[in-house]
């Protein structure tokens, strides 16, 4: 099989191009594509502990912890120890993290638009459905 027919090569290369563009456009806001995932979860109340965020994003908890460390230093999130159970750490958005929502979502919409610009609406929907099927089938 030719390497250009290899699903892994195609997905990895496509992801690299999209990641580079997202990184470029998110840089002025001081966040990375990975940090965007965490912010999105917090904006949409899809978890507020490192474990919940990791599960939602399909990442290792240690990976999320590294993202959270950088985000806390950046001032977009804070960690709060639960009064009910001191073993539980909750992640909350700071005012700065909340303020990033609209401009960052505009960047995400722009990247999606750029990436899908060569596709018809039906092709775009089919591509997104196929990617979701790969992710959630396992």
Whether the predicted pLDDT of 99 surpasses 90: yes
**In the CATH hierarchy, which top-level class contains the domain 3-137?**
mainly alpha
Q: Per-residue confidence at 114, pLDDT binned at 50, 70, 90?
A: very high
Q: Is-contact 43 56, C-beta < 8 A?
A: no
Q: What pLDDT score does 33 carry?
A: 97
Say how many C-beta atoms besides its own lie within 10 A of residue 45's C-beta: 7
* Residues 6-58: tens digit of each pLDDT: 999 999 999 999 999 999 999 999 999 999 999 999 999 998 999 999 999 99
Positive/negative CA dihedral, 92, 97, 101, 105: negative
* Residues 126-136: tens digit of each pLDDT: 999 999 999 88
Structural domain boundaries in the chain: 3-137
| Residue that the structure tokens 């490192």 belong to | 50
- List CB contacts of 18: < 8 A, sequence separation 6 or more: 111, 115
Nearest to 47 by CA among 59, 29, 33: 59
């Amino acid at each position: 099989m030719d390497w250009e027919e290899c699903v892994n090569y195609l997905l990895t290369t496509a992801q690299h191009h999209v990641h580079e563009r997202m990184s470029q456009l998110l840089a002025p806001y001081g966040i990375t594509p990975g940090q965007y995932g965490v912010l999105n979860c917090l904006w949409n109340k899809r978890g507020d502990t490192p474990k919940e965020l990791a599960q939602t994003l399909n990442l290792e908890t240690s990976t999320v912890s590294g993202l959270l460390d950088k985000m806390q230093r950046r001032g977009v999130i804070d960690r709060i120890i639960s009064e009910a159970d001191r073993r539980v750490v909750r992640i909350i958005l700071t005012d700065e993290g909340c303020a990033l929502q609209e401009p960052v979502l505009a960047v995400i919409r722009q990247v999606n638009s750029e990436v899908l610009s060569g596709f018809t609406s039906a092709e775009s929907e089919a591509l997104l459905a196929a990617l979701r099927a790969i992710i959630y089938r396992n």
